[in-house]
Each structure stands twice: as C-alpha cells, then as structure tokens.
Amino acid sequence: MKRIGIATLVLCAFLCFAWGQTAGSGKIIRFNVPGAQGTVGQSIATDGSVAGAYTDSNGVLHGFLRSVAGKYTKFDPPDSVGTYTSAVNSKLAVTGSYKDTNGAFHGFVRSPKGKITPFDAPGAGKGNYQGTLAYAINSEGEVVGYYTGASQEYHAFFRTAGGKVTGFEAPGAGKGSTQGTIAVAVNDGGAISGNYVDSNNSYHGFVRAANGTFTSFEVPQSSETYVSSINAKGTVAGTYDGSTGTDGFLRLADGKMTLFGPATGGVYVGTINDAGAVVGSVVDNNNYSEHGYVRSPGGKITYFNVPGAGNALGQGTYAYANNASGQITGAYVDSNGVGHGFVRQ
C-alpha cells in the first residue's frame, strides 16, 4: 500500500554539483509560523526560503513563505477558506491550491512580489472536493498539477508562465472515478512527470517531454508505481509497492532504474535535486514513527531525526524537499501530535 506523508494528508483535509556541495552541513533549524497551531515546510527554494502551510487556532490552513533570515509572510488567495502551498521556485514564485466556500479547489500562483493569481483548468468540476490542484512550478513559472471532473476523474494540466492552461491525458489512463492522469512535477526544460491510473485502478509512471511525447513506465515486478519528482537531467524519483512493502526508485532519462530502501519499513520519496540527491522519510517498524533520510548521488543513505520529534505512530521526522545546495525542509511531529517545520542545512 502506498504510504502517504502528512503533507498529503493536509491537502486531503484540505535540483551539476558534486556530492560535497549537496550534502549540507547537517545543522537543523526548527521553526513555527507565529500564531500557528501546526506548521509544515513543503518546498525549499535555491536560496533556502521555505514555502509551506500552517493551521490556525480554528484548524484552517493558510500559506506561508519563510525567508532565509526567518521572516514570515502569510498569505491566502481571495475567497479562500483553506490554502495549501505545494511548491516554490528559484525566483520565489509560489504555487498551490485553495478551497472555496463550496468545497471546490482552485490553483494559484503567487508572484515574487506577492501578487496572487487564482486559476482553474478548463473542465474542472465546481463541486465539493472537485476542481484544480497545483503541484509544482519550475524556474520559468510553468505550473503542473491535475484537476477533477464532475465524475471525480483525474486530468493533468500544464499552465504556461503567461497563464494559459492546457489539459492532457497519458495514454492508457482510465476514464472512471479516481482514474486518469496526475502531473506532479516539472523541470526547467519543460519535462513533466507524474502518474496515471488505468481502468483497473493501478498506478503507473509517465514522463511527458517538452514536445508532448509520452513515455510510460513501471518498476519491474511492482504492483504499483508512484512518481514524486523529476530533476533537470530527467531523472525521476518515486516509490513502488513490492512484495515486502514500499521502496524507492530512480529512473534515469535513458530508462535505467535503480531501486533502494531500508531492510525493513516503508519508504516515502520527496524530491530529487539536480545532482541526484534524494530526500524522504522511512517508517520505523519498531514503533511506526518516521525518520528523515538523504540519499547521495552515489547511493549512500544517511538517516536523521529532528530534535523534539516524537517516536510513536504518526510522529517523527518527515523530509519533503531539497534544493541544489542540499538543504532539506519538511516537518516533524512531536509527542503531542503537533507538527513543526524544519530546515536541515
């Protein structure tokens, strides 16, 4: 079964450098948005700025951008009753989604100067838990994600920096409820990666080249393949369901695959930077808490825990994203079940 990180649960409730340059120092900075009841660092820019989401005292989600100096900017699109920030690019443009009073989702882009532009994919449903969900933004300001139609089917979209939104489908994608195409990442060359769900409700990976050509793939001997990220070289990172649980994979642009994971426990894969370093988290089979990890381009896996993280089910360290310098952001959940943000330098 696919493991779902807390960032995904929040949404449902609503980057060539040598390894020495991408490992980071290991120093951990913990943070909380002022006044927040819970904080998640979801994406980290080239300069170390963090974009994410926080919950207020009423349990409502809002977006934030944290500068390298620790200054917080809180934001919400107009008419939002819940904002989830999914990604920030090298220029500090942010994308994500928000929910309206009817329960429908809409995408948004927040410019580096703070202007928020809402958008909807053509054909997106307007009912409860329907609409447009933006997942990723590249340095050119191009956004990808997916939208749900009236029958809860999935359709991928690509939004240009100028604001034109185009839907697309992966070959083999099913057309029924919770079937279809989901774009989750885009690199600076315009290559898009994601998943499609076939008519048998099975997940497969895809890469859509900038010219629109599709390549479908799946991890050999896997029942399910889930894509998380793509870097500038076209290497795709994600997870797959094997016979003993969930493990990670890397797929090079030429199709060659490398599989990785701990001896026990399941793996969550966040992002892969342009050097090929991967971050994510693994579950501890002893107490079901989470531990962060970074996998070097050479394959060495280093585990880490944020001080203050709990060690019970649903607690621990969740690493979601890294940048070209090897800085990592994510969230840690303490023994009281409260989420806090962190940056590992």
Task: Note the pLDDT of residue 25.
Answer: 61
Among left, alpha and beta (phi > 0; psi -120 to 50; other), residue 320 is alpha
Residue 210 has pLDDT above 50, yes or no: yes
What's the average model confidence in pLDDT over 201-223?
A: 95
pLDDT tens for each residue of 61-73? 999 999 999 999 9
Whether the per-residue pLDDT at 10 is higher than 80: the answer is no
The pLDDT of residue 26 is above 90: no
Domain assignment present for 139:
yes
Residue type, 41: G
pLDDT at position 178 is 95
Number of domains in the chain: 1
| Residue 242: per-residue pLDDT | 75
**Interacting residues of 138 by C-beta distance below 8 A, sequence separation 6+:** 89, 186, 187, 188, 190
Inter-CA distances, 133 with 94, 125, 146, 182, 323, Å: 13, 11, 6, 10, 23
In this prediction, residue 7 has a pLDDT band, given cuts at 50, 70 and 90, of very low
The proportion of the chain whose per-residue pLDDT surpasses 70, expressed as a percent, equals 91
Taking residues 283-301, what's their average pLDDT? 93
Provide the residue type at 117 as one letter: T
pLDDT of residue 111: 98
* Statement: residue 33 has pLDDT above 50: yes
In this structure, is residue 318 part of a structural domain? yes
Burial class of residue 49 in the structure, from the number of CB atoms within 10 Å of its CB (0-12 exposed, 13-18 middle, 19+ buried): buried
pLDDT, averaged across the chain? 91
Whether 222 is covered by a domain: the verdict is: yes
Q: Which residue has the higher pLDDT, 221 or 321?
A: 321
Read off the pTM: 0.91
Lowest mean pLDDT segment, chosen from 39-43, 45-49, 240-244:
240-244
Is 13 a member of any domain? Answer: yes
pLDDT exceeds 70 at position 21: no
pLDDT at residue 18, rounded to an integer: 27
Residue 17 has pLDDT above 60, yes or no: no
Residue 132 has pLDDT above 70, yes or no: yes
HSE at residue 260, side-chain half, CA atoms within 13 A, is 25
Res 245: pLDDT:
81
> Which CATH number is 177's domain given?
2.130.10.10
Q: How distant, in Å, are the alpha carbons of 25, 111, 240, 303, 309 from that of 54?
A: 27, 20, 29, 26, 18
Q: Which residue has the higher pLDDT, 293 or 286?
A: 293
Distance CA 93, CA 113 (A): 8
On whether residue 1 sits in a domain, the answer given is: no
Q: What is the mean pLDDT of residues 129-156?
A: 96
Q: Has residue 121 been placed in a domain?
A: yes
**Span 130-149, average pLDDT:** 97
How many other C-beta atoms are found inside a 10 Å radius of the C-beta of residue 111?
13
Q: Are 183 and 156 in contact (CB under 8 A)?
A: yes
Q: Give the Cβ contact number of residue 172 at 10 Å.
A: 15
CB 107, CB 97: distance < 8 Å: yes
pLDDT of 3 strictly over 60: no
CA of 257: how far to CAs of 82, 177, 207, 223, in Å?
38, 31, 14, 16
pLDDT, one tens digit per residue, over 69-124 is 999 999 999 999 999 999 999 999 999 999 999 999 999 999 999 999 999 999 99
- Rounded mean pLDDT, 166-192: 97
Tokens of 143: 């956004």
Domain residues for the domain of 190 are: 6-344
Judge whether 104 and 112 are in contact, CB under 8 Å.
Answer: no
Q: Are the beta carbons of 272 and 230 closer than 8 angstroms?
A: yes
Contact by Cβ (8 Å): 335, 310? yes
Whether 79 is in a domain gets the answer yes
Q: What is the 3-state secondary structure (H, E, C) of 249-304?
A: EEECCCCCEEEECCCCCCEEEEEECCCCCEEEEEECCCCCCEEEEEECCCCCEEEE
Region of poorest pLDDT, from 3-12, 91-100, 163-172, 278-287: 3-12
Where does the chain have alpha helices with state H? 6-13, 19-22
Query: Residue 121 burial (CB < 10 Å; 0-12/13-18/19+)?
Result: buried
**Per-residue pLDDT band at 19 (split at 50, 70, 90):** very low
Confidence of residue 223 (pLDDT cuts 50, 70, 90): confident
- Domain-embedded: residue 246: yes
